[in-house]
């Protein structure tokens, strides 16, 4: 257990026992009445929130929750200031504190609409954008609680500071109408999706920052967009940029689900980054974490003195793997917070997709728990029925409220129907990460070629279930951390063979059914593991091996987008056929990707032994062009190949009426197409 984890666990335990920041009870002021000696205090003489707002909050169906709760600059009774509103049903008193009142919890008490609604509200004049604030709450017994950041804040101050910030509510002027109208088609199962996964803080550090400076949406964001365009990616996927206190969590322990992290700029600057991505033809996906939250005392933990957002019982409310707290999905107001967050990113920030983290941990009550450490559901089962209902509502709601946006599940088990429609009992996601394919194929590639014959099924098994869901093939950040090594470092052999193995593997991946995702650094074959405090090893591109892998990825992306046979049939079995899946002795694989009359032949030799005169059946006669050879000298390979094309003979093979005789280079993947196919598709 890390020091951070120990601290989080200790905080949770102390809060459970009511020992954090306990203070002697002092007489609370009731319901927004101001002390007579504080003339600067000003509150609404009548509630500013309407009955409909309060009703929808209570029902858990206020989809514009961040427009209702949180901090908003308004004019009231002729005075300009900020209206604050927060849900804290079990608090006996709440006040808003900040620089504007010297953090005095007696200065600006909040009005409680009703104990039933649990919503507190106050208007503070002369407070504008940029003001720092928190909420000072007292529990039902009158004890002071730790100062709390605003769960609905749209802006926060840069960590390690923890205050919320009054955001400028002025709407961003978008220029991406055309993109938004067409994004559903760009993200459909028939479309090419090649996703560049990025931790923005460590993609590239600002020059002269000595490794410690944070990249900014304005500067480094523009560089990232240019790189994604040059490399031919269709989307950038950002590791969580919701505000989070601990940088070492990579954003996966967030507390500000409505605020882009202040590490990289303002909310408006993040919006401008998304707008610029769309102008360049690049979609934006955010990793989004509704599964759990950290126990930092300024956050959601025992927010009003009770287990408000989490479960009271640690068997339901405490996550043993990450020492975090689990949301109570069965509480309407809690699920509303999460659903409104999803809508905030897809509607307010025009984000094109959410990748939902740790879905398996949400679905199973016994996830990472031993017998006796979890509570069964009402039917005695291990399924988290509240989480299932939440995920189904999430996907239904986004389809209605954010048309064209996609939702992707990181789900590592065989839960049925992850991408099936909710009306048929499925969870309703558009795509699911294919974790099984990733683990199987990486395991295969890690073996010395001489031993691969004993693990041949690791490369073929993925097609047994490839169409049971709509899959994304992920080579993600999780595969290059915690001692696993880089992708290049996991390949066997000397340096030449490592690079050749990786190029061949990428060729196999881009040919295989399923959308593509690659974490930064993999596309230049960096030697080192990912370091979130560093940056991608861009200097490596001065060497042919690294530059060659980058060129392979660039060309694969172009080929993948150009040839519909490689992407249009990803979700249908009729777009794929094994030609050779059983050549165990030679460790050769060959398959056909098809779309109508268009075909791409993919052949892989996963040993360093060249194969000549290797016959493979094809559906058409005539000339077949070699559009990819990962052993080409331009990529750092040996330059062995087929001279750019081969002639198909009228000789049946592998159930096809024609066949080609190929030279299979060592540790290489080939792609060939009929010369008269044309290129079609997206360029």
CA 23, CA 296: separation in Å to the nearest integer? 19
Q: What 8-state DSSP symbol labels residue 154?
A: S
Cβ atoms 505, 605 nearer than 8 A: no
CA 667, CA 449: separation in Å to the nearest integer? 9
Phi/psi of residue 310, nearest 5 degrees: -105, 180
CA 520, CA 109: separation in Å to the nearest integer? 48
Residues in the chain: 683
* DSSP β-bridge partners for residue 137: 94
Q: Which residues contact 161 (CB under 8 A, 6 or more apart)?
A: none
Of 410, 440, 523, 555, the active-site residue reads 410
Cβ atoms 470, 514 nearer than 8 A: no
Cβ atoms 386, 329 nearer than 8 A: yes
CB count within 10 Å of CB 50 equals 10
Of 121, 357, 386, 469, the active-site residue reads 357
Q: Reduced to 3 states, what is the DSSP secondary structure of residue 149?
A: coil
**How close are the terminal C-alpha atoms of the chain, in Å?**
49
Question: Beta strand pairing status for 668-674 and 598-605?
Answer: antiparallel
Q: Which tokens hold the place of 244?
A: 């989070």
Q: What is the largest CA-CA distance in the chain?
A: 99
Question: Beta strand pairing status for 194-198 and 235-238?
Answer: parallel
CA 529, CA 363: separation in Å to the nearest integer? 31
Q: Which tokens hold the place of 200?
A: 């923005």
CA 15, CA 318: separation in Å to the nearest integer? 13
Cβ atoms 235, 277 nearer than 8 A: no
Q: Which tokens hold the place of 661?
A: 């005789």
Q: Which tokens hold the place of 399?
A: 């389809």
Cβ atoms 612, 663 nearer than 8 A: yes
Backbone conformation region of residue 611, classed left if phi is above 0, alpha if psi is from -120 to 50, else beta: beta
> E strands, 351-419, where?
353-356, 406-409
Looking from the CA of 201 toward its CB, the CA atoms found within 13 Å total: 24
Cβ atoms 119, 87 nearer than 8 A: yes
Indicate if 410 belongs to the active site: yes
Look at residues 265, 262, 242 and name the one whose alpha carbon lies nearest to residue 252.
242
Cβ atoms 373, 305 nearer than 8 A: no
- DSSP letters for 173-213: ----HHHHHHHHHHTSTTS--EEEEE-HHHHSPPTTSTT-P
Q: What are the Cα distances from residue 517, in Å, to 227, 321, 538?
A: 16, 26, 20
Look at residues 512, 515, 632, 630 and name the one whose alpha carbon lies nearest to residue 581.
512
> E strands, 349-464, where?
353-356, 406-409, 431-433
Phi/psi of residue 215, nearest 5 degrees: -65, 155
Q: Which tokens hold the place of 620?
A: 């058409």
Positions marked active-site: 357, 410
């Amino acid at each position: 257990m890390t020091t951070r984890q120990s601290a989080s666990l200790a905080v949770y335990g102390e809060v459970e026992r009511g020992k954090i920041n306990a203070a002697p009870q002092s007489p609370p002021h009731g319901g927004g009445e101001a002390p007579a000696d504080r003339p600067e205090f000003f509150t609404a003489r009548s509630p500013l929130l309407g009955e409909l707002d309060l009703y929808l909050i209570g029902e858990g169906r206020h989809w514009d929750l961040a427009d209702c709760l949180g901090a908003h600059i308004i004019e009231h009774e002729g005075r300009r200031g900020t209206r604050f509103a927060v849900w804290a049903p079990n608090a006996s008193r709440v006040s808003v504190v900040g620089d504007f009142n010297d953090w005095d919890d007696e200065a600006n008490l909040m009005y409680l609409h009703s104990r039933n609604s649990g919503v507190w509200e106050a208007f503070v004049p002369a407070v504008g954008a940029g003001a720092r604030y928190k909420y000072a709450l007292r529990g039902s017994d009158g004890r002071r609680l730790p100062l709390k950041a605003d769960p609905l804040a749209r802006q926060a101050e840069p960590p390690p500071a923890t205050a919320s910030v009054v955001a400028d509510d002025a709407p961003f002027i978008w220029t991406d109408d055309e993109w938004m109208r067409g994004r559903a088609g760009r993200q459909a199962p028939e479309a090419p999706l090649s996703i560049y996964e990025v931790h923005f803080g460590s993609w590239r550090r600002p020059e002269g920052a000595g490794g410690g400076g944070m990249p900014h949406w304005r500067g480094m964001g523009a560089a990232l967009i240019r790189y994604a365009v040059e490399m031919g990616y269709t989307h950038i996927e950002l590791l969580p940029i919701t505000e989070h206190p601990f940088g070492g969590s990579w954003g996966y322990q967030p507390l500000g689900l409505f605020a882009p992290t202040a590490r990289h700029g303002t909310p408006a600057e993040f919006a401008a980054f998304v707008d610029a991505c769309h102008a360049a033809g690049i979609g934006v996906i955010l990793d989004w974490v509704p599964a759990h939250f950290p126990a930092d005392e300024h956050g959601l933990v025992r927010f009003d003195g009770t287990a408000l957002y989490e479960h009271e019982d640690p068997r339901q409310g405490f996550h043993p793997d990450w020492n975090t707290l689990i949301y109570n999905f069965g509480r309407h107001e809690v699920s509303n917070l999460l659903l409104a967050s999803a809508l905030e990113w897809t509607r307010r920030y025009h984000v094109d997709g959410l990748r939902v983290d740790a879905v398996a941990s949400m679905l199973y009550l016994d996830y990472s728990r031993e017998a006796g450490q979890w509570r069964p559901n009402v039917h005695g089962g291990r399924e988290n029925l509240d989480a299932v209902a939440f995920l189904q509502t999430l996907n239904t709601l986004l389809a209605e409220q954010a048309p064209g946006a996609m939702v992707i599940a990181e789900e590592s088990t065989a839960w049925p129907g992850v991408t099936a429609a909710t009306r048929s009992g499925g969870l309703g996601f558009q795509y699911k990460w294919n974790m099984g394919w990733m683990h199987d194929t990486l395991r295969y590639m890690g073996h010395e070629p001489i031993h691969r014959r004993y693990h041949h099924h690791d490369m073929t098994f993925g097609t047994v279930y490839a169409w049971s869901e709509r899959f994304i093939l992920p080579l993600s950040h999780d595969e290059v951390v915690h001692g696993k090594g880089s992708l290049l470092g996991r390949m066997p052999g000397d340096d030449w063979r490592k690079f050749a193995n990786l190029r061949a593997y990428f060729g196999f991946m881009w040919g295989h059914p399923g959308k593509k995702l690659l974490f930064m650094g993999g596309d230049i074959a960096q030697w080192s593991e990912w370091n979130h405090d560093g940056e991608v090893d861009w200097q490596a591109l001065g060497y042919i091996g690294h530059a060659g892998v980058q060129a392979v990825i660039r060309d694969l992306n172009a080929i993948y987008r150009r040839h519909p046979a490689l992407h249009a049939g990803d979700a249908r079995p009729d777009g794929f056929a094994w030609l050779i899946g059983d050549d165990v002795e030679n460790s050769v694989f060959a398959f056909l990707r098809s779309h109508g009359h268009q075909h791409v032949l993919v052949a892989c030799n996963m040993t360093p032994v060249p194969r000549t005169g290797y016959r493979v059946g094809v559906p058409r006669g005539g000339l077949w062009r070699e559009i990819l050879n990962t052993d080409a000298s331009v990529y750092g390979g040996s330059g062995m190949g087929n001279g750019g094309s081969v002639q198909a003979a009228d000789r049946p093979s592998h159930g096809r009426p024609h066949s080609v005789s190929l030279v299979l280079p060592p540790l290489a993947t080939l792609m060939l197409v009929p010369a008269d196919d044309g290129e079609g598709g997206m360029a």
